[in-house]
Structure 1
């Protein structure tokens, strides 16, 4: 992995109350009526260390910390890396000092957050690196783990990607069903503008004729879904020629994987949305072990 780190503004996690709510659900799910195994340990002061067992981008520190502090408000967590850092296999990420039972009880929930969000950030960075220099930006989708949308979309930003709409409420997206119901693409655009004049409007088109119609009527972004390479290049040429002159960015979605990503970006599109960033998560291999770190 290579390339510049994300902007500091991209590293702002969701509000503390969102993180705490995520953690409360996770701990309640795991602990239930009580950790019967941790109860076998003496409730004494102890230490632990957090080990990363594969190359990754670190993401999820706020959730990791909140898990441990929920069970031991006095726990001390000393991070050796920053959020968004690229680390190598074998890196000790942090050391902890706290109560032995609390360290053990919080272990799995804290690692679940960190491994999932680090995995999301890491795969995002791989895609961002693949399009570097083309001008295309990598977007996520709404294909997120239920209940962890804000967390995963934060991880995408940490990995250098950008967020598409957060939910169904913050951006209007016109697709085939809307065009069918309205009678035409133009009518659907007019209806959307009339009902939601202040929201961003993204329009999906299925042909070059619809592309030109959307360009004439105006919107904030045009989604060209499942165009073949030749038609995609024609779409870029049309969108950048007079009288449109690239005023409305083009987004590609569908049929995107690592084997096609670079060529799609080189065709000149502005955005590429990829559901796999948050849907096909490879969790990073981490472990939390009691005792001092080796060496």
Structure 2
């Protein structure tokens, strides 16, 4: 779920970037106390995401905003539907319009693509994970969109989980010294973080099992056929994650192996924003 303080900080920074010294088009044409209503129109089919964010944007600019949702985050949406109606000062509606649309279009695209993956995994034990392949300063909303689409959030950043990838391992001189240093570091700094270790072949898996002391084993660029013997060796002792080259076309083949997770960076970085528009409601 979105953290209120972090969301507010993001909105303030985004509005400052867009409004700068002032929304002069609006300031020049709209009297300060003019009130109005607008509706968010859906122009493409998909999965709706960003309703909570949109309401927070309007309310940050105008705490008297009246926000009426007609759909919820995660709902399927169809072209022609209305997601919400919002009433506030017209200056608020116009200054917030582009930020609301940018967030909701991007989030809805991610939620829609994520849902396609999770639909392929129905009936299987395997869950789809996101990655850190995100847009700088927009990660919180992108990962929220993954959650809305039915995916599972991997680590948020570099601070909330240990992940020993190929470069960590190579620079450390191997899996064993890398894991041993991490365990010592966590103990010395009184940190309680889960440890994941990347493996690149079956020999790496054997070494990881020998050194132990982690929570999850990543099977990087393993084919489904290569994962089966790796899972047999692991024997359920640790969580398992398949990563690398996983697509909508082959994700079910990975799920059939029984691997716990598949991580798919594409659900964020290959997602295409969906078309939405905010239109004024003008009564005759």
Q: Please list every run of at least 4 consecutive aligned residues from structure 1 whose deviation after the TM superposition is greater than 6 angstroms.
A: none
**Alignment partners' CA distance in 1, 2:84 and 2:210:** 55
CA gap of 1:272–1:41, structure 2 versus 1, over 3 A, is: same
Which consecutive residues of structure 2, in runs of 5 or more, have no partner in the other structure?
A: none
1:237: how far off?
A: 2.4
Local SS of the residue matching 1:74: coil
CA gap of 1:79–1:215, structure 2 versus 1, over 3 A, is: same
Local SS of the residue matching 1:37: helix
Q: How many residues align?
A: 276
1:213: how far off?
A: 1.7
Say whether the 8 Å CA contact 1:127–1:258 is kept in structure 2: yes
Partner residue of 1:160?
Answer: 150
Say whether the 8 Å CA contact 2:222–2:243 is kept in structure 1: no
**Alignment partners' CA distance in 2, 1:109 and 1:181:** 42
1:42: how far off?
A: 4.5
**Which stretch shows the higher mean deviation, 53-62 or 16-25?**
53-62
Partner residue of 2:29?
Answer: 40
**Alignment partners' CA distance in 2, 1:134 and 1:48:** 43
1:176: how far off?
A: 2.5
1:33: how far off?
A: 1.6
TM-score (norm 2): 0.91
1:71: how far off?
A: 2.6
* Aligned pair partner of 2:220 in 225, 242, 246: 225
Which consecutive residues of structure 1, in runs of 5 or more, have no partner in the other structure?
A: 1-11, 241-245
Deviations 1:53-93 (A, max 9, x none): 11222221232112222332212111111222222222111
Local SS of the residue matching 1:252: strand
**Alignment partners' CA distance in 1, 2:237 and 2:282:** 57
CA RMSD of aligned residues (A): 1.8
**Alignment partners' CA distance in 2, 1:237 and 1:89:** 47
* Aligned pair partner of 1:269 in 243, 256, 259: 259
**Alignment partners' CA distance in 1, 2:167 and 2:14:** 37
* Aligned pair partner of 1:172 in 158, 162, 173: 162
Partner residue of 1:90?
Answer: 80
Partner residue of 1:54?
Answer: 44
Partner residue of 1:203?
Answer: 197
Local SS of the residue matching 2:21: coil
Local SS of the residue matching 1:272: strand
1:292: how far off?
A: 5.7
